[in-house]
Amino acid sequence: MTEREKELILKASPCEVNYFDRNLLTFRQALEKGRELCLNYSACESGGIPCALTCGWEVAQHIVNGSNLKKELNDFSYVPFINNEFWKSVNRRDFERIRGKPDVLSAVEHSARIILREDAFDSSLERCAKCDGVKILEIVYDTIRDGLFPCSGGGKTRRRDVYYCPKCEPKPAGGIIEEDDFGDAFFRKLSKPL
C-alpha cells in the first residue's frame, strides 16, 4: 500500500499538486504548499488530448480504493480513446505526445506509480522478452467442433486471453478445437470406424 495518504490521492489532481515531489505525503501538506499548476496546463486544457498523468491518477484512485495495478491497466487498455494521442511526462516539466497502446499503457502505469509513490521503474505489465516493449491483451475465440463427424458441431466458442507484443509477434487469432461433450477419448473411439 502507498505511503501517501489516501485523502491526498483521492482529492488532489496531478494538474494542481506535484506528485513528483516525494516529500509530499498528505493532503494537509498539499494545502500548505498551495497550488502548483502543471506547466502543460494551458496547452492541455485547450487541446483536448488526454494526459497520461491524469489517467494514471484515476488508476491510482482505484488502487487506494482496493484495486490492483494489473487489473486497472487491463481495464484502461479498453477505454474508447486508447488509440488517441496522449500527453506524457516523466517529470511534469517536459511533455511529449505519444500514441499506441503499449506506449500509452506504459506511461499511464509510470504516472500511477509516481502518484502512489511506488518504484516507477517497476512494471505490472506483461513485457516482451525480445524488445522489452509492453505486451497487449487480445481476446481470442476458438471454435469448438463438438459434432460426431469431422467439421461438424454446434458452433460453440471458447474465449482465451492472449498477451502478445505488437512489435515482434503477429496478432493472435482463434483456432479450431476438436472436442465432444463426452470427452476426447470417446470421440476418437466413435469416429474411427466411421
Shortest CB 109 distance to Zn ion, Å: 17
Stretch that binds Zn ion, among 1-9, 59-67, 89-97, 124-132 (CB under 5 A): 124-132
Give the list of residues 6+ apart from residue 153 with CB closer than 8 angstroms, or none: 143, 144, 145, 146, 147
Residues 6+ apart with CB under 8 A from 173: 140
176's grid cell:
479450431
* Site for Zn ion contains 130 (CB under 5 A): yes
Q: Does 166 bind Zn ion (CB under 5 A)?
A: no
Size of the site for Zn ion (CB under 5 A): 7
Distance of alpha carbon 57 from alpha carbon 19, whole angstroms: 10
Query: CB 129 → Zn ion: shortest distance, Å?
Result: 8
Q: Which residues in the 47-66 window bind Zn ion by CB under 5 A?
A: none
The verdict on 100 binding Zn ion (CB under 5 A) reads no
Of 136, 165, 180, 187, the one binding Zn ion (CB under 5 A) is 165
* 91: its cell numbers: 517529470
Q: Is 126 in the site for Zn ion (CB under 5 A)?
A: no
The letter for the amino acid at 98 is I
Which is nearer to Zn ion, 124 or 191 (by Cβ)?
124
Residue 39 DSSP one-character state? T
* Cα–Cα dist 56/53, whole Å: 5
Per CB under 5 A, contacts with Zn ion among 167-186 are 167-168
119, 108, 100: which is closest to 53 by C-alpha?
108
**Binding residues for Zn ion (CB under 5 A):** 128, 130-131, 133, 165, 167-168
